[in-house]
């Protein structure tokens, strides 16, 4: 007997409309009452997700359709958060692959689809944003089929059903010439093409932990799918740790999902996705099972990180002035706590108690961690990101990325030239006919470090850049990522308008008058390749002399604003980014740190 449940993940490239489509499904399923004020992208509940307009954490919801419960897992589209995708795909039997009708499959589409096909999931392709002016839905489907074949999909997977949709307008349809009314065709496709869970309610209990949450009242909450067996409140269960150790505990609370809410349950059986309290030391990938017949499920396999940075205690002259958590113990505890939920992250202690080697999937993955810690009140400093090399078949190798650029036609030559200098090899070039060209490259990951700022200048802010990890390949040789030298503050003090105006011909500044600076702090970029120390605190000498032009309005050039991402891309090997809850500063590495 098939269970009245469907478990489905929504996967796609970043910004192809996954979360908006989930909004439409939630609206039609009656999750929201009439007249309720519903925010856009309701599943993106995290502040950073709302600010950046991307999904960072995988989240699940449940909707009712006829007599079925459909569990929907919304996953991130950015490859830097691939660990989130990999750990939740074991909870589902099928996936909705969302593809933009204009862009077609993009680098992250390849990444998330490859993971889904490896798990043997049944895909339904949804061509989204068909109401856009440049939409080419059938061309997008042809590209998706090519991608399926390229990724080695079997015959069943290549015979995928497809629908056309507009998540924003809230409709889906099986043919382009039909009138789009609502999301019912998509619900029907899920019921028809996604298989029900295969677990047995009568077998010994097996539940794999895929997400961790925390409640002040219940403590740690584990979320996962019941693969086999039945769970009841108050029952004794065992947790099989990743090292094989078995820990017994009682299930104190059992929660199910209904729309955006969690509801209390007395019992749940195989196929359901539930939240359980009672296991205070459970970690992702471990199995909750029958204490009399403990059977562990295979641990979740996650790809290894490709980028590493050093997180260190802040030792600048302004250390401890703006942060709440500033000591090495507090920094260490926070980083190791992050490992419990961030499965793609690695943290290693170094020979110094004040520094930690933190490895992640990319600059965005590590940047989000830094921004989150900063908002929590942590103060620390980080080094330039470095790629992680590996030995494959006895040969030293480095990570390569698949890079896709969408640029104005006049910027094509400049982008090709710069990426050639960074060892990029062009794979494809498509002229769009609308004044834009799409370029595809394979490039070493270290060739992309610091490229985004250069790319924005080349395209005057009109370029779109996407990349995802491809594989490890032999070393590409030396890469020259030329950058001008920096302007370094000569002494501690407060920057003055007079000093900045006098030094304006030396380069561009990152600071404004009134900014507090210290010796060794980077205050701007020099016009020439070498670094230059300047005095930005010099004040104008007051005299009795009155100039005839003294009252004229004098203005400074607009400074370059250094956001966290821009700062991480900008710094060189001998430089650091100082991160506090109130400020982002760039500085030269002290000799003490450089020697280490």
Q: Which residues are annotated as a binding site for GTP?
A: 15-20, 128-131
Cα(327)–Cα(217) distance, rounded to whole angstroms? 29
b/e per residue 396-407 (b: at least 16 CB within 10 A):
eebbbbbbbbbb
Residues within the annotated binding site? 15-20, 128-131
Per-residue 3-state assignment (H helix, E strand, C coil) for 206-246: EEEEEEEEEECCCEEEEEEEEEECEEECCCEEEEECCCCCE
Cα(404)–Cα(460) distance, rounded to whole angstroms? 17
Q: For residues 60 and 273, is the Cβ–Cβ distance under 8 A?
A: yes
Pairing of strands 5-12, 94-100: parallel
Distances (CA, A) of 22 to 31, 37, 68, 260: 11, 16, 17, 11
- Rounded (10°) angle between helices 184-193 and 18-28: 100
- Spatial strand order in the sheet of 162-166: 59-65, 68-74, 5-12, 94-100, 122-128, 162-166, 171-173
Give the three-class secondary structure for 487.
strand
Please list, in sequence order, all residues whose beta carbon lies within 8 angstroms of the beta carbon of residue 219, skipping any fewer than 6 positions away.
277, 280
Query: Maximum Cα–Cα distance for the chain, whole Å?
Result: 97
CA 305 to chain centre: 13
| Nearest CA-CA partner of 523 in 554, 485, 471 | 485
Cα(501)–Cα(462) distance, rounded to whole angstroms? 31
Please list, in sequence order, all residues whose beta carbon lies within 8 angstroms of the beta carbon of residue 55, skipping any fewer than 6 positions away.
18, 19, 43, 44, 49, 74, 75, 76, 77, 81
Give the three-class secondary structure for 336.
helix
Distances (CA, A) of 42 to 11, 34, 132, 367: 17, 16, 23, 24
Q: How many CA atoms, within 13 angstroms, populate the side-chain half-sphere of residue 450? A: 18
b/e per residue 579-594 (b: at least 16 CB within 10 A):
bbeebbbbbbbeeebe
Pairing of strands 584-588, 575-579: antiparallel
| Nearest CA-CA partner of 530 in 488, 574, 484 | 484
């Amino acid at each position: 007997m098939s269970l009245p449940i469907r478990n489905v993940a929504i996967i796609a490239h970043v910004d192809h409309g996954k979360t908006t489509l989930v909004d439409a499904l939630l609206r039609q399923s009656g999750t929201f009452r009439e007249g309720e004020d519903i925010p856009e992208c309701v599943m993106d509940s995290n502040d950073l997700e709302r600010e950046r307009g991307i999904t960072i954490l995988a989240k699940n919801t449940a909707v009712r359709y006829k007599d079925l419960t459909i569990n929907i897992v919304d996953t991130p589209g950015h490859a830097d958060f691939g660990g989130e995708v990999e750990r939740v795909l074991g909870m589902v039997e099928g996936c909705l692959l969302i593809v933009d009708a204009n862009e077609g499959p993009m680098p992250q589409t390849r990444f998330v689809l490859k993971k889904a096909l490896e798990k043997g999931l049944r895909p339904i392709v949804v061509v989204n944003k068909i109401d856009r002016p440049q939409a080419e839905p059938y061309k997008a489907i042809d590209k998706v089929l090519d991608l399926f074949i390229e990724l080695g999909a079997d015959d069943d997977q290549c015979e995928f059903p497809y629908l056309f949709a507009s998540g924003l307008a809230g409709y889906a349809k099986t043919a382009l010439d039909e009138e789009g009314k609502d999301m019912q065709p998509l619900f029907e496709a899920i019921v028809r093409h996604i298989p029900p869970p295969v677990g047995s309610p009568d077998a010994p209990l097996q539940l794999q932990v895929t997400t961790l949450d925390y409640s002040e009242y219940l403590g740690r909450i584990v979320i996962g799918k019941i693969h086999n067996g039945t769970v009841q409140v108050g029952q004794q269960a065992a947790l099989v740790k990743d090292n094989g150790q078995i820990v017994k505990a009682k299930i104190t609370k059992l929660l199910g999902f209904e729309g955006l809410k969690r509801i209390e349950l007395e019992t749940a059986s195989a196929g359901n996705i539930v939240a359980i309290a009672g296991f205070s030391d459970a970690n992702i990938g471990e199995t909750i099972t029958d204490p009399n017949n403990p059977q562990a499920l295979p641990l979740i396999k996650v790809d290894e990180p490709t980028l590493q940075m050093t997180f260190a205690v802040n030792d600048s002259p302004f250390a401890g002035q703006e942060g709440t958590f500033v000591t090495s113990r507090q920094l260490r505890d926070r980083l190791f706590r992050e490992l419990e939920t961030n499965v793609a992250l690695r943290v290693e202690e170094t020979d110094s108690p004040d520094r930690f080697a933190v490895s992640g999937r990319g600059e965005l993955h590590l940047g989000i961690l830094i921004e989150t810690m900063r908002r929590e009140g942590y103060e620390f400093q980080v080094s330039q990101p470095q790629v992680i090399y590996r030995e494959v078949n006895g040969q030293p190798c480095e990570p390569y990325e698949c890079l896709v650029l969408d640029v104005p036609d006049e910027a094509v030559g400049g982008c090709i030239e710069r990426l050639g200098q960074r060892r990029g090899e062009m794979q494809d070039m498509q002229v769009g006919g609308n004044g834009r060209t799409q370029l595809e490259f394979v490039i070493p990951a270290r060739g992309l470090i610091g490229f985004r700022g250069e790319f924005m200048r080349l395209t005057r802010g009109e370029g779109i850049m996407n990349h995802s990890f491809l594989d490890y390949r032999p070393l590409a040789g030396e890469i020259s990522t030329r950058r001008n030298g920096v302007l370094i503050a000569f002494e501690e003090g407060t920057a003055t308008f007079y000093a900045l105006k006098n030094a304006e011909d030396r380069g561009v500044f990152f600071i404004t008058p009134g900014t507090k600076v210290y010796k060794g702090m980077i205050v701007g970029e020099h016009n020439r390749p070498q670094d230059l120390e300047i005095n930005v605190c010099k004040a104008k000498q007051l005299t009795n002399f009155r100039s005839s032009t003294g009252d004229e309005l004098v203005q400074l050039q607009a400074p370059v604003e250094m956001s966290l991402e821009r700062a991480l891309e900008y710094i060189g090997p001998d430089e650091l980014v100082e991160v506090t809850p109130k400020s982002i500063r760039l500085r030269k590495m002290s000799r003490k740190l450089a020697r280490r």
